Amino acid sequence: MNPYDPPGTDSSVGGGAPTGNLDFEPGTLDIGLALSDGWDATKRNFGVWLLMGLTLFVVILLLECTLIGLFIAGPPLMWGAYKYSLDVLDGKPAFNVLFSGFGEFGKTWVGMAGSLFFMMLAMIPAYVLCYGAIGVGFAAQMAVDPNSETPLFILIGTLVGVVVMMPALIPMLKLYLAPYFVVDQGMGPLDACKASWKATRGNMLSLIGLFVAIMFIVIIGELALLVGVIPAIMVQYGALSSAYRQMAGRHPGRYADL
């Protein structure tokens, strides 16, 4: 497939639900399989993945010099990055895929920007609850003992804020797969959010477990004198792409018969 073809025209990837179809049966997320896929993809494609990551990093740095440039070019670039992570998982990465989101600019911009916007929107209640609890703790500390060396009320408010923030992040996690549906199946942002919400049904505990495992992998990479950070990040994106394929019922190994 030409990487500059319109998004969503590749029906050969993974099997499972047809492109753009909301009528699919969600698969079951296997954390071990996702991490294994991420590690295998990293080993097979380390060099080209490193080149793509460095290029994306430099391009985004240049775009940040002008906010309008980042606003215009950021979503298509992110589209290409998601597409690349899926192609790496499929064993067919190509460097120019990074820029494939510009092939049909309007559709990719709306799809990616829209799905990311809804994800950020879903995070607002979590941050309101978290910072609200911290603010209440701070106000209580100022009212009771503003000069205390042990700001107990601020500490309690921070702890409560973190605790109430965790369940409030669930809507964002439910929408986490939306960009993948935009890229892999050519959906618009609203349909992608609906598909993500459906695909994560029954998989939330496993998805949270995967994020926890990835967090530990990245921490271990940082402890290895930062040498392991780059492969850890690659494993992260490969594992998340595998997680999407599994939950969407499109993993070639698990759902090849669909």
Domain assignment of residue 247, given as a range? 202-251
Regarding whether 179 and 132 lie in a shared domain, the answer is: yes
Burial code of 210-225, b = ≥16 C-beta within 10 A, e = fewer? Answer: bbebbeebbeebeeee
Other beta carbons less than 10 A from residue 43's beta carbon = 12
Average pLDDT, the chain: 85
Q: Does the pLDDT value for residue 255 go beyond 80? A: no
pLDDT digits 0-9 by tens, 152-205: 899 999 999 989 888 888 999 999 999 999 999 999 999 999 999 999 999 999
- How many domains, in total, are found in the chain? 3
The reply to whether 232 falls in a domain is yes
Whether the model pTM is above 0.75:
yes
**Boundary (domain end) residue, out of 190, 215, 237:** 190
Regarding whether 128 and 71 lie in a shared domain, the answer is: no
The reply to whether 5 falls in a domain is no
The reply to whether 4 falls in a domain is no
Regarding whether 234 and 183 lie in a shared domain, the answer is: no
The reply to whether 23 falls in a domain is no
**Boundary (domain end) residue, out of 54, 74, 103:** 103
pLDDT digits 0-9 by tens, 7-42: 444 433 333 344 567 888 899 999 999 999 999 999
Q: What percent of the chain has pLDDT over 70?
A: 88
* CA neighbours closer than 13 Å in the CB half-sphere of residue 182: 30
The reply to whether 11 falls in a domain is no
CB-neighbour burial class of residue 226 (10 A; exposed 0-12, middle 13-18, buried 19+) = exposed
The reply to whether 108 falls in a domain is no
pLDDT digits 0-9 by tens, 219-246: 888 887 666 888 999 999 999 999 999 9
The reply to whether 147 falls in a domain is yes
Amino acid type, 62: L
**Boundary (domain end) residue, out of 145, 160, 190:** 190
Regarding whether 99 and 59 lie in a shared domain, the answer is: yes
CA–CA separation, 114 and 77 (whole Å):
14
The reply to whether 36 falls in a domain is no
At 20 the pLDDT is 63
